[in-house]
Amino acid sequence: MKKFIKTNWHYCALALLFACAEPEIQREKQGEQITPDPVASKSDDTNAKNPGPGGGVLMQAFYWDVPAGGTWYNTVKSKLASWDAAGISAIWLPPVSKAQNGPFSMGYDPADYFDFGNYNQHGSLETRFGSKTELQSLITTAHNYNIDVYADIVINHNSGGDLEANPNTGTNTYTDFNPASGKFYRSYNDFHPNGYANNDEGIFGGFPDLSHSVPYVQDWLWKRSDGVGKYYKNTMGFDGFRFDYVKGFGGWVVRDWMNNVGGFAVGEYWDGNAQLLQNWVNATNRTSSAFDFACYYRMDEAFDGNNLNKLNDDMLWKRDPSKTVTFVTNHDTDVIWDKMHAYAYIMTHEGYPTVFYRDYEEWLDKSKLNNLIWIHRNKAVGSTTILYTDNDEYVAKRNGSPGLVVYLNDSNNWVERWVETNWSSTTIKDYTGNSNWEPTTQSGKWVKIQCPPNSYTIWSPK
C-alpha cells in the first residue's frame, strides 16, 4: 500500500519510586493459555547474528517521502552500527527498482525490476534512494554486521509502460514495457485480461494488473536463475522479501515464489480480521509470515480507547506466532498515539516485532525503545498467558526461560497487583527501571508487582 498518514505523538510517564513491599494477601486470577512455546535460540549473545532467546527485531528502514536526491541508502548505511548495537537483526528497505516517477518515486509504481539506479530512464539515473553501487554497499555493510536485508517487492501491478493497441480489451493500454535493463519485457498479454485469465483477486489504483497465470511472467518473477526473485536474492544479496498488496493476487503466487527462491517472507494483507490473516498464511502453504493488522487495530482500540480488555481479542500472533510480524506503525498507516504502550506490548509478546524508522530516530525516546528491544531479545521467551485485564490494567506472562511478566497501566494512578509467576522463591526486578521494587516471589510463585501511571513495567528474575 502507498498512503502514509502522519501523526504527531507525545508520551509522558511519571517515574515515582516506591520501596519494596512484602507480599500480603494473595488474590488468584484465572490465566488464559494462548500458544505453545516457539523455538528459542541457544545463544546468550544478543547481537544481530545471535539474537538471544527471545529472537530478532526488524527495522522498517524508511518512511513515506524520505528525502529525495539519492541519499537514502547512505543514510541507512550510516545507522547500521548503532542499530546493530541496539539489537536490530534485520532491515526492510523500500522497493529498490526504478519506477515510473523516477527520482521522485517511493518505488510502488515499478517499471524496470532490474534497474537499481544504474540506467538512465524515467527521468533519472539513480532512484529516489540512490545508485545500485550505494545499494550494494548498504547490503554488504548490513551483512558485515550480521543484519539481514529484506526487499519490498511489488508484483501486483506495473506502471510506466508505453501505450499500445490491446486486442484483449479492444482499447489502447499502457502495457508495453521496454526496460533499459533488457530484462523482463512485457506486453498486453502479460496483464489482465489475457488468454490465461481475465482477472485475479484485485486491481490497485488502475495500474496495469500483472497476470501471474502467464508462464512467461512466472519465469521472470521466480523461476529463472536470472529472474527477479533469484537475482535479488542470489546476486544482490537480499535475505528476504516483503510482498506488497497481497490482497491483489492469490497466496499461491507467494508460495511458488518462496518454493523457488527461498529466504524470509512477510505479506501485507491489510485486514484487521485475524481469521483472514491466518487464511492468507495458509494459502501460501505457510511459506510466508503476515503483518498482524488485527493486533495493530486492537492496540489502537486498547491504548487510545482506554480499554485494555481489547487485548483479549483475536490476533494473528495468538493463532500462529511463528508466522506473525507485529508493528506499531508503518509508511502507510500511523493511527496509534500511545506508542510506548504499544511497543511494550509487541516487544513482550509473541511474533517478530518491527520498529518504525521515524519512531526510533525522530519521534520517541530511543533509550526506552533500546530497553524494550533488549528485553525482547533476552527475556521474551515461551508461550503467553494473560493474567488480568480491565479497562486500565493488563498483565501477561511469558512462560519460557527466563520469561517475563509485563504490566501495562493506562490509568493516571500507580497500580499494584498480585500475580502468579513461573518463579518460586525468586527475587525479580523491573527491567524497564520504571519501578525500583525487587520483590521475592512466594514458594507458591505469587508476588505483588506495581506500575506507574500511564506506563509499563516488565519483571523477570535478577
In the chain, % of residues over pLDDT 90: 89
Amino acid identity at 19: A
Express each pLDDT in 317-333 by its tens digit.
Answer: 999 999 999 999 999 99
Mapped onto helix, strand or coil, the DSSP state of residue 351 is coil
Q: Which residues carry a binding-site annotation for Ca(2+)?
A: 156, 392
When pLDDT is averaged across residues 353-366 and rounded to a whole number, the result is 98
State how beta strands 384-389 and 393-398 pair: antiparallel
Say which residue the cell 528474575 belongs to. Answer: 461
Mapped onto helix, strand or coil, the DSSP state of residue 325 is strand
How many whole angstroms separate alpha carbon 327 and alpha carbon 71? 26
Nearest alpha-carbon partner for 325 in 280, 366, 285, 259: 280
- pLDDT of 121 over the 50 cut: yes
Q: How many helices (H) and strands (E) does the chain have?
A: 11, 20
How many whole angstroms separate alpha carbon 313 and alpha carbon 350? 15
Tell me, rounded to whole angstroms, the distance of Cα 317 from its chain centroid: 12
Which residues are part of the catalytic machinery? 244, 268
Amino acid identity at 457: T
How many whole angstroms separate alpha carbon 312 and alpha carbon 18? 30
Question: Of 95 and 12, which is predicted with more confidence?
Answer: 95
Q: From start to end of 177-222, where are the E strands? A: none
| Per-residue pLDDT at 11 | 33
Apex 397 CA angle, 394 and 398, nearest 5: 140
How many whole angstroms separate alpha carbon 47 and alpha carbon 280? 32
Lowest-pLDDT range of 10-24, 266-280, 395-409, 425-439: 10-24
- pLDDT of 74 over the 50 cut: yes
Nearest alpha-carbon partner for 90 in 311, 310, 377, 371: 377
Express each pLDDT in 433-449 by its tens digit.
Answer: 999 999 999 999 999 99
Contact assessment for residue 384 and residue 402, using Cβ atoms and an 8 Å cutoff: no
Grade residue 52 by pLDDT with cuts at 50, 70 and 90: confident
Grade residue 50 by pLDDT with cuts at 50, 70 and 90: confident
Query: Phi and psi (nearest 5°) for 81?
Result: -60, -45
State how beta strands 58-60 and 90-92 pair: parallel
Grade residue 19 by pLDDT with cuts at 50, 70 and 90: very low
- pLDDT of 297 over the 80 cut: yes
When pLDDT is averaged across residues 298-303 and rounded to a whole number, the result is 98
Contact assessment for residue 393 and residue 407, using Cβ atoms and an 8 Å cutoff: yes
Grade residue 83 by pLDDT with cuts at 50, 70 and 90: very high
- Retrieve residue 71's grid coordinates: 541519499
Query: Phi and psi (nearest 5°) for 424?
Result: -105, 130
Q: With 0-12 CB in 10 A as exposed, 13-18 as middle and 19+ as buried, what is 30?
A: exposed
Query: What predicted TM-score, i.e. pTM, was given to this entire model?
Result: 0.91
DSSP code of residue 263: S
Grade residue 44 by pLDDT with cuts at 50, 70 and 90: very low
How many whole angstroms separate alpha carbon 389 and alpha carbon 32? 11
When pLDDT is averaged across residues 321-348 and rounded to a whole number, the result is 98
Grade residue 431 by pLDDT with cuts at 50, 70 and 90: very high
Lowest-pLDDT range of 48-62, 184-198, 251-265, 358-372: 48-62
The upper half-sphere exposure of residue 49, i.e. CA atoms within 13 Å in the direction of its Cβ, equals 5
Q: Which residues carry a binding-site annotation?
A: 156, 392
Whether cis (ω within 30° of 0) applies to the bond prior to 461 is no
Express each pLDDT in 237-247 by its tens digit.
Answer: 999 999 999 99
- pLDDT of 430 over the 90 cut: yes
Grade residue 10 by pLDDT with cuts at 50, 70 and 90: very low
Tell me, rounded to whole angstroms, the distance of Cα 386 from its chain centroid: 23
When pLDDT is averaged across residues 44-71 and rounded to a whole number, the result is 86
Say which residue the cell 500507580 belongs to. Answer: 414
Query: Phi and psi (nearest 5°) for 215?
Result: -55, -40
Whether cis (ω within 30° of 0) applies to the bond prior to 402 is yes
- pLDDT of 24 over the 50 cut: no
CA distances from 289 to 22, 106, 325, 343 (A): 44, 24, 7, 20
Say how many residues make up the chain.
462
Average confidence score pLDDT of the chain:
91
| Per-residue pLDDT at 288 | 98
Sorted by where each starts, the structural domains of the chain and their CATH numbers stand as: 47-380 (3.20.20.80)
Alpha helices in 307-399, H assignment, sequence order:
316-319, 339-348, 357-358, 366-379
Alpha helices in 186-250, H assignment, sequence order:
215-218, 228-230
Q: With 0-12 CB in 10 A as exposed, 13-18 as middle and 19+ as buried, what is 209?
A: buried
Say which residue the cell 500511523 belongs to. Answer: 334
Query: Phi and psi (nearest 5°) for 329?
Result: -160, 165
Question: Of 254 and 3, which is predicted with more confidence?
Answer: 254
Amino acid identity at 311: L
